[in-house]
Structure 1
Amino acid sequence: MKTLLTIALLDIKESFRSRWFLIYLFIFSGIVASFFISGVMESRVLGFSGLSRLLLLFIQICIIIVPIFVLISTSRTILQDRDLNILEYLLSYPISQSQYYFGKALGRLFGVSAPLFLSLCLAIIFGIFKGASVPVLLCLVYTGILFSMCVAFLGIAFLICSVSKSQEMGLGLCFFVWILALAFLDIALIGILSKTDISENFIFGVALINPIELFRISAISLFDPDLSVLGSTAYFVLDSFGSSGIIAFSLIYPVILGLACLVFGFYLFRKKDLA
């Protein structure tokens, strides 16, 4: 365990020196700052104002940016070490493959989630400073489903690391997964529904397997428990899960998906020639 935590700490320190981490932190902190400068909290849209209004905008940004950043930054973790012969050097020490692999995963999880949480904390601090009411429970639940989505794509990224032969191949697979996940938000599912006789409940069920779609629906349900903006999809979600059930599902399923991909990736990682 001590060795695993040491590797995780080394990866965290490497993240702090990485330009990707700094750009990621700057983007989200800058976005939050721009929200306050532009007076978003003072505006009211569909009854939402203050921090609730800011979080609604934050959701739309996270849907696009978070998955691709987690995939790209994480996919390079093991592949870069292997290309630079760092992996072979580290494994020459009394470090097992599992300690290296899961230590990297733990450190990378901190690296991809810390900027998001810092940005949310920044939003809450500014909100308190401006005298806005802070929906504590809403912020905690939103942080939880955001963390779950990070775990899901982190596991997928490590699985991509395990099957890729080079960094270029890994980046290509990451973009493919990201585009596929975005396409199944609306475009692909609407096309399938209109061109085939497949049950719409089956289509809606497929949509909820997508971590991005699940994050989107559960985040919206925090502000709109009736999911009125989703149209007919809301009936399937509410009948199948309920307003609280969909949030619980969004907290549990992405974590299970991410851990399953992580473990399967480790199985493939052990089978490959690591040198």
Structure 2
Amino acid sequence: MSYRVRWIVADQTWHDSFKTRALADSFRSELLSLARQGEPFDVATGQPISRLRTEAPTQRWYDHACAYADMKWPHAAGKSRQGIAESLATVTPALLATSKSRPATASLRAVLYGWSFNARRRAEGPPPDELVRVERWIARNTRPVADLADPTVLRPALDSLTVLLDGRPAAASTVSRKRAIFYNAVEYAVELGHLSANPITSIKWRAPKLSEAVNPRVVINHRQARDLLAAVRQLPSGDRLAAFFGVMY
């Protein structure tokens, strides 16, 4: 259960929710006291001006991820730049604060991988016209970096690294590479003061083990294997070659 306080600034209704009645009453009393003292309120946020001055700005994940890509870009090789963009584009959709009016997955991917986390393209100007609204929606709706300290937020972000775009499980090497980049991006948030410590170090998380399945399209069948071994035995050192290919099969 939560308790909501409503107030009006410049004919616009604002509200805030609190876990306890006491917190809600305290906030309401603060607003009334400031209003009686003639405190100006910000029409863009509905907050008292003095409150805005004392509150530190909240860094959202999307803005931080762009800053991280910019920081790494000048010193990273082409392959590394692709890996950074791929990893950040994978984890960012898992750090969205809402699904309301969420753009299509393909559009999210297009703007994140193709523009947001490509420092050169972002420096050249805005994204393509059809992706401008998508980019703005992402910028408004990613979670604050501080939310990563919550395991219920961090775990889904880590889990997102284990799945490919088509829904298939990612290879262990791919998961390990993306996790390392995500870890480094969170470490950069610690360096900038957005987090007091890297929460990934304290969370007990392991990528799920994948069951390796044989793909019949790329492995010969039993008849083909018998024919191969029979043909190999006709060659010089055929017995050894047959044993070699037999063990491989």
TM range (shorter): under 0.3
Q: TM-score, normalised by structure 2?
A: 0.27
Larger gyration radius, structure 1 or structure 2: 2
Structure having greater relative contact order (Cα 8 Å, sep ≥ 6) = 1
More helix by share: 1
Q: TM-score, normalised by structure 1?
A: 0.25
More strand by share: 2
